[in-house]
Copies of this chain bind each other. A is one copy, B any other.
Amino acid sequence: MEDEVDRLLEAWRRERPDLDVSPMEVLSRVSRLARHLDRARSQAFETHGLESWEFDVLAALRRAGSPYQLSPGKLLKETLVTSGTMTNRVDRLTARGLVERLPDPADRRGVLVQLTDAGRDAVDAAMADLLAHERALLGSISARDQTRIAQILRELVRPFDLEKH
């Protein structure tokens, strides 16, 4: 069964028969699937009145476990955004009452961002919904193939994880 990437590669092979475009069989599909997943995620969160970027921050705090506190610095490492972006995100989440800023008792430069009860409820509901959608999407893939692809993806991501530290 043909897909968009097949059409893309067919065009490249016609125009640049000298190039081996086969890497794109895998990597273009990864990029395109990720774009679709982003959109699907946004839709799933819409039901819960959350934007994707809001979920990313709240989820990082939720994962940290009680008392659901992380510094902005930790948060930006978890969510892979810059400090200016995180300041802005925390501002807006604070305005919505989903998190609050507390002074860090151990470092007067520092701040702790803490999930409010409303923030915790919101992220818990959104997470359950997200997983339901993702499970449905993966329904057509056998458990064996899911394990296989997860393993291959892990190998592909490894070089990037390494270069960070």
A→B interface (CB under 8 Å): 1, 3-5, 8, 11-12, 14-16, 19-27, 29-38, 40, 62-65, 80, 124, 127-128, 131, 134-135, 137-138, 140-141, 145-150, 152-161
Pairwise interchain contact B157-A4, C-beta atoms closer than 8 A: yes
Contacting A12 at CB < 8 Å: which of B1, B33, B63, B148? B63
Pairwise interchain contact A80-B35, C-beta atoms closer than 8 A: yes
Contacting A161 at CB < 8 Å: which of B4, B64, B158? B4
Contacting A3 at CB < 8 Å: which of B64, B146, B154? B154
Alpha-carbon gap, A128 to B24, bound state (A): 12
18 intermolecular pairs with C-beta atoms under 8 Å apart:
A11-B64, A12-B63, A12-B127, A15-B62, A19-B128, A23-B131, A23-B137, A23-B138, A24-B131, A26-B138, A27-B134, A27-B137, A30-B34, A34-B34, A140-B156, A141-B152, A148-B152, A149-B152
